[in-house]
């Protein structure tokens, strides 16, 4: 997958990739890699990057940009693309160039790959669990600090869909917004006055709030921590008047049952905030 084809905000992601590569090198390299100085300046080497576990690859553009900034003479040969499934012990990247540069860039490159691949892998696992239900899996804003767009992209590599990117591209009226606005109807009406062409979503905790959100004309209604029976009832009551999103208590043990209630989509913060880095390794081969 090419990130420039994956997201409507790819221009912002392009900028983020450049900034991220600069930050990664700055925090790791500092004033200079003193250990790399053990190696003769003119020494060249080849290296392979493998995954120690099955995963979904994500992060190609970040690694390309990192080595472009570090040393343009380093050659990268990718044997997989973002979104591809990798098997344990599979070689998916080969590098060739100055030995110092390969070793200086190693950790920063692997850090980004292992994190984004973890998000893509978790997402693909969840998507596979509900692949035949027609339900869309959504991410949330519960992303790692400073990695919002990167993790949102990784979710798409895993077959998931993006919810809001931030606080600016959709209304999500939650409990505190409702209280501060004086009710669901007042909150939805205010949202329509502010931006008529922006989706309005309302989070509800009871059937009474569901009915109010429907009457107010919400585009999307988030069922917050509804039980399975209550979700099925909510689907009946809504009858297609709004998109229904299930949220809360979503994990691999509950995901399938939630999807089978008939909701339209399920959002999960676990795709981005509860991930375990993929075990990757780079080895010099000569």
Q: Say which residues have a Cβ less than 8 Å from residue 38's Cβ, sequence separation at least 6.
A: none
- In this structure, the strands spanning 90-98 and 75-78 are antiparallel
Q: Where in the sequence numbering do the catalytic residues fall?
A: 107, 142, 174, 203, 224
User: What's the gap between Cα 194 and its chain centre?
Assistant: 29
What burial class does residue 117 get, using C-beta atoms within 10 Å of its C-beta: 0-12 exposed, 13-18 middle, 19+ buried? buried
Token code pair at residue 279: 């075990």
Of residues 271, 241, 238, 235, the one with CA closest to residue 255: 271
The residues with which 284 forms a beta bridge, in sequence order, are 47
Residue 163 is classified by DSSP as: -
HEC profile for 60-71?
HHHHHHHHHHHC
């Amino acid at each position: 997958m090419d990130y420039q084809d994956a997201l409507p905000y790819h221009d912002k992601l392009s900028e983020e990739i450049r900034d991220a590569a600069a930050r990664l090198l700055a925090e790791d390299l500092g004033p200079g890699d003193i250990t790399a100085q053990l190696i003769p300046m003119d020494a060249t080497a080849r290296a392979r990057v493998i995954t120690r576990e099955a995963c979904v690859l994500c992060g190609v553009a970040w690694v390309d940009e990192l080595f472009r900034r570090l040393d343009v003479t380093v050659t990268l040969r990718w044997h997989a693309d973002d979104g591809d499934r990798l098997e344990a012990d599979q070689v998916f990247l080969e590098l060739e160039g100055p030995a110092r540069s390969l070793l200086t860039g190693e950790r920063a490159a692997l850090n980004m790959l292992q994190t984004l691949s973890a998000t893509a892998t978790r997402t693909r696992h969840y998507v596979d669990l509900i692949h035949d239900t027609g339900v869309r899996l959504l991410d949330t804003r519960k992303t790692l600090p400073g990695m919002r767009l990167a993790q949102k992209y990784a979710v798409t590599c895993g077959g998931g869909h993006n919810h809001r990117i931030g606080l600016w591209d959709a209304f999500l009226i939650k409990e505190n917004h409702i209280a501060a606005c004086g009710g669901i109807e007042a909150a939805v009406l205010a949202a329509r006055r502010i931006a008529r062409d922006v989706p309005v979503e309302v989070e509800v905790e009871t059937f009474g709030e569901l009915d109010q959100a429907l009457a107010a004309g919400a585009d999307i209604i988030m069922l917050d921590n509804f039980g399975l029976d209550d979700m099925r009832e909510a689907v009946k009551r809504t009858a297609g008047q709004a998109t229904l999103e299930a949220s809360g208590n979503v994990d691999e043990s509950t995901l399938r049952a939630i999807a089978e209630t008939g909701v339209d989509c399920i959002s999960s913060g676990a795709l981005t905030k509860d991930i375990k880095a993929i075990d990757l390794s780079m080895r010099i081969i000569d």
